[in-house]
Amino acid sequence: MEKRPIGSLSVSIVGLGCNNFGWRVDAAATERIVHAALDAGINFFDTADIYGGTKSEEFLGRALGSRRAEVVIATKFGMAVDDRRKGAKSDYVRRAVEDSLRRLGTDRIDLYQLHQPDPSVPIGDTLEALDGLVRAGKVREIGCSNFSSKQIRQAETAVRPGAARFVSLQNEYSLLHRDPESGVLSECLQRGIAFLPYFPLGSGLLTGKYRQGQPAPPGTRLTSGGRFSGRLEGPNMDLVELLAQFAATRGRTLLDLAISWLVAQPAVASVIPGATSPEQVRANAAAAGWCLTADELAAVDTIVPPPL
């Protein structure tokens, strides 16, 4: 599989989002999914300390086992694990990385990401703590998530000469959520920051499982209530149908379109869909094989226009 850079790291253009591990997927199923990903040429695994109530990191580390050296592990800190473990203060950064290293069963984290901005802490303080982790060999590269263009610029300004800087940004981005095109992606390109789209399949809407006039499959994220259930209503399904028809006229699936379209965006380093089965991992990995032409990209824009 093609690889692209994130700082000094080299990652597969399709990675594996590990947010299902420890929540929708147990340890045994995690191992099957991880090994299917490795067999499909995926070397990039993205998790976070909060995923699965901290179990995602543990299950991922256990599943990788002796194959740890083959992969790039990304994890995150900053969102609340509990009332005491949260935020981006220097002392917590140092505690959080030790907790993640222990759960992952590794001596280094390849990409350590601030999960969200912490307005109570100057970004320069957080960057200084992260630079200390890089210098200590506990972290190879650092990144951020859920940052705006302005926050990226503030972080760049706060970096001391010669110190570690954010080399990646992870924000929501998909055919159904093109907000990063309003400045964030161009900021990343200008500064050489790799972009990692989360929810690349629109929380499942772009997998092809949900079609107009057909009952939604039971037991999926979008049918189990909660924060994602509303996505099956309104104009989303009209767009999904149009995108699926566009892909079908070219002998492709909606999944192929969703992943290959993101791969075609210049700032994107790796697309990181989640998976709950080995079959999903293999399908996601194979979906990146469509090299969309300029005309095809323009046609997609007529279906789902970019933000003004």
Domains in the chain, start-ordered, CATH in brackets?
A: 3-205+255-291 (3.20.20.100)
Average pLDDT over residues 183-188: 97
Which of the residues 51, 92, 112, 198 is marked catalytic? 51
What is the tens place of the pLDDT at every residue in 6-15? 999 999 999 9
Q: What is the mean pLDDT of the chain?
A: 94
The predicted model gives 188-200 an average pLDDT of 98
pLDDT (tens digit per residue) in 215-226: 666 665 555 555
3-state SS record for the chain:
CCEEEECCEEEECECEECCCECCCECHHHHHHHHHHHHHCCCCEEECCCCHHHHHHHHHHHHHHHHHHHHCEEEEEECCCCCCCCCCCCHHHHHHHHHHHHHHHCCCCEEEEEECCCCCCCCHHHHHHHHHHHHHCCCEEEEEEECCCHHHHHHHHHHCCCCCCCEEEEEEECECCECHHHCCHHHHHHHHCCEEEEECCCHHHHHHCCCCCCCCCCCCCHHHCCHHHHHHHCCCHHHHHHHHHHHHHCCCCCHHHHHHHHHHCCCCECCECCECCCHHHHHHHHHHHHCCCCHHHHHHHHHHCCCCC
Kindly report whether the global pTM for this prediction surpasses the value 0.75.
yes
Q: Is 51 among the catalytic positions?
A: yes
